[in-house]
């Protein structure tokens, strides 16, 4: 072979000078096993790896919203929740009747004009009580979720970020409350303070035992996020630990917290209905689905419709929030998506 035809050896990569192309490479891991690599311009890799610099940057929340708006589960649950919230905020749009106006002459009468669902044993209009009971149940669920998420989120964030003895102390306190079942703890506390009953009393008791799950989820998410590069860079620039925690770490740890809060909201509505069913939740003067279910249980065999309608409203509401939680979980946590 002439000297012009000899490839220029650079380790195990040779450039073939006889081809006339400066970018044609010959890879020779061993003698007799030469492999030719095509130039980058002749392959589709350049177009695949090209990044459109004019395209605006997207965030995790933007990607989640793009996924959610194409999810039928999110659309159905979202429409149901919007309708439920409208009923809870503006019940007078759906009925003009007073849910507390009852006449024994109408006791257990079937549905009629203006009273589509009939009357209960006390002669109260079932439809109006179902409509006005929405406000009570949804209010308890939303208020409990907000308080439990705020309190549990702060406890979990501080424990996960500072670690050491702070984490050990807060984690042991969380474990103590976590060992007490939600309903059992609520029943005991409400029985101890039965002198007065109100919506806020039920909300605070449920939040007292409901914050632990949020704290555990927040702690794990913060422990994972605090070791990322942006937190290290912020610390190097002189940012204080408290500023890093609430300015950088917490906003990037909210995804699993939002998921657990959305799912827990339905559980709090069920818990309130259960406590009212047992007679230790909301007072009898407050219209609620749990109270109506408790009153109608004695009529289950002879007039099941009296119990059916508030139970159906409760089931649809809880199902809507659980479906919403599942949809949000799939959008914010791609690893949890099923094939």
Sign of CA dihedral 232, 236, 240, 244: negative
Q: Which CATH code fits 60-336?
A: 1.10.3720.10
pTM of the predicted model as reported, rounded to 2 decimal places: 0.75
Q: How far is CA 85 from CA 100, 170, 280, in A?
A: 21, 36, 26
Q: Which residue would you say has higher pLDDT here, 25 or 265?
A: 265
Q: What is the pLDDT of residue 298?
A: 82
Q: What is the pLDDT of residue 45?
A: 58
Q: Which residues contact 235 (CB under 8 A, 6 or more apart)?
A: 241, 244
pLDDT per residue as tens digits for the range 125-172: 889 999 999 998 899 999 999 999 999 999 998 988 888 898 899 999
Q: 3-class SS at 102?
A: strand
- C-alpha–C-alpha distance, residues 45 and 186, integer Å: 61
Q: Which residue would you say has higher pLDDT here, 55 or 304?
A: 304
pLDDT per residue as tens digits for the range 174-188: 989 988 888 888 888
Q: How far is CA 54 from CA 50, 57, 59, 60, 63, in A?
A: 12, 9, 16, 19, 18
Q: What is the DSSP letter of 337?
A: -
Question: Mean pLDDT of all residues in the chain?
Answer: 80
Give domain limits for the chain: 8-45, 60-336
Query: For 4-18, 47-61, 99-113, 255-269, which range has the lowest pLDDT when averaged over its residues?
Result: 4-18
């Amino acid at each position: 072979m002439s000297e012009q035809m000899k490839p220029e050896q650079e380790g195990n990569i040779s450039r073939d000078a006889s081809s006339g192309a400066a970018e044609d490479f010959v890879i020779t891991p061993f003698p007799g096993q030469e492999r030719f690599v095509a130039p980058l311009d002749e392959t589709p890799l350049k177009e695949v790896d090209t990044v459109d610099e004019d395209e605006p940057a997207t965030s995790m929340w933007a990607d989640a919203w793009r996924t959610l708006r194409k999810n039928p589960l999110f659309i159905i649950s979202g429409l149901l929740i919007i309708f439920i919230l409208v009923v809870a905020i503006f019940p007078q749009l759906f009925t003009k009747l007073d849910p507390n106006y009852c006449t024994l002459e109408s006791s257990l009468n079937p549905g009629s004009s203006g009273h589509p669902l009939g009357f209960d044993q006390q002669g109260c209009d079932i439809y109006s009580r179902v409509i006005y009971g929405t406000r009570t149940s949804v209010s308890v669920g939303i208020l409990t979720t907000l308080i439990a998420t705020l309190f549990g989120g702060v406890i979990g964030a501080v424990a996960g970020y500072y670690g050491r003895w702070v984490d050990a102390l807060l984690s042991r306190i969380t474990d103590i409350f976590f060992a007490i079942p939600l309903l059992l703890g609520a029943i005991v506390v409400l029985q101890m303070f039965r002198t007065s009953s109100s919506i806020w009393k039920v909300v605070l008791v449920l939040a007292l035992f409901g914050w632990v799950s949020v704290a555990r989820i927040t702690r794990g998410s913060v422990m994972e996020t605090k070791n990322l590069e942006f937190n290290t860079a912020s610390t190097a620039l002189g940012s204080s630990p408290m500023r890093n925690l609430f300015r950088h770490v917490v906003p990037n740890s909210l995804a699993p917290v939002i998921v657990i809060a959305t799912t827990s909201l339905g559980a709090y509505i069920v818990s309130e209905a259960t406590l009212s069913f047992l007679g230790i939740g909301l007072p009898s003067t407050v219209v609620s689905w749990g109270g109506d279910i408790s009153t109608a249980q004695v009529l289950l065999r002879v007039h099941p419709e009296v119990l059916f309608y508030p139970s159906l409203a409760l089931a649809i509401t809880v199902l809507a929030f659980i479906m919403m939680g599942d949809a949000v979980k799939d959008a914010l946590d791609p690893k949890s998506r099923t094939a």
